[in-house]
Amino acid sequence: MGVLRKLLAWLSVPVISLLALVLYLARPFNPDNNRMLGWVVARFGRWILGMERPVEGRENMPQDRPTVVIANHQHNDDLFVMGDLLPPRTVTVGKSSLVWLPFFGQVFWLGGNVILNRSRSKKAVAAMQLVGETIAHDRKSLWVFPEGTRSHGKGLGSFKKGAFHAALASGAPITMVCASEYADKTCRLLGRREPVAIRILPPIETADLRPEDVPELIERCRSRMAEAIASITPASSVGSA
């Protein structure tokens, strides 16, 4: 039953994206399209999966100014876990292969999201610095998975520098979204998915920081996120991924 739920949840993504194309074509490259699509996809997906997703610290997510959001990346299902947490006028960072996904790839591009070739790390950092300057000018927020790859619920990986250079270039605070470790498993009757808890940490200001402060900033953010993830992850879930 759990496999069927997951299949239906992911089949809903291209269907919802196809319907959303009307909105994206009506107002192309409007970042609030992403927020609306993320809200619908995440809420509908969690309903199909039967997943509960309590959130602590919603008040820490800036709503009236740009921010660079960083979140831990575990599975593709993070779309259902976090997709409805985007602040206003948010663009996300994704790999170039995403644009080839049916319907979702097209709305991802039309949403003005940042598409990177991560195999070229030096160019990616330069691109993220430019993104930071752009989002400051356009008053957009940016959502990034700084690990750059999925951890599959096996702890927080090392962080890439791009998001932090973007934050410094924009002067925007960094907001940390932490999801408890979870595995692709069910825990209830009828194949309902195990709950995933979210904690949003208070933003870290970057306006007075310089590029040479990036390594310390990365370590500070990663340490705070690792502590938060450990505190919201049930003991029974640790090492079960």
Q: What is the CATH number of the domain that holds 75?
A: 3.40.1130
**Count of domains for the chain:** 1
Task: Tell me the pLDDT of the chain (241 aa) as tens digits.
Answer: 889 999 999 999 999 999 999 999 999 999 999 999 999 999 999 999 999 999 999 999 999 999 999 999 999 999 999 999 999 999 999 888 888 999 999 999 999 998 887 655 566 677 787 888 888 889 999 999 999 889 988 889 999 999 999 999 999 999 999 999 998 778 777 889 999 999 999 999 999 999 999 999 999 999 999 999 999 999 866 555 4
pLDDT at residue number 141:
96
Query: Angle at CA 218, nearest 5°, toward 229 and 145?
Result: 60
The answer to whether residues 238 and 183 touch, using CB atoms and an 8 Å cutoff, is: no
Q: Which domain holds residue 146?
A: 2-237
Rg over alpha carbons for the chain, rounded to the nearest Å, is: 17
What is the CB-side half-sphere exposure of residue 148 using CA atoms within 13 A?
Answer: 14
Is 192 in a helix, a strand, or coil?
Answer: coil
Identity at 235, one-letter amino acid code:
A
Bridge-based pairing state of the strands 141-144 and 90-95? parallel
pLDDT at residue number 81:
98
* Reduced 3-state DSSP string for 164-183: HHHHHHHCCCEEEEEECCCC
Bridge-based pairing state of the strands 198-204 and 174-179? antiparallel
Residues 45, 124: Cα–Cα separation, whole Å: 31
| C-alpha pair distances (Å), 18 with each of 25, 86, 112, 197, 207 | 11, 20, 17, 30, 40
pLDDT at residue number 241:
45
Bridge-based pairing state of the strands 90-95 and 114-116? parallel
| Residue (of 137, 140, 136, 131) closest to 89 by Cα position | 140
What is the CB-side half-sphere exposure of residue 34 using CA atoms within 13 A?
Answer: 28
pLDDT at residue number 190:
85
pLDDT at residue number 120:
59
Q: Using CB atoms within 10 A of its CB, is residue 241 exposed (0-12), middle (13-18) or buried (19+)?
A: middle
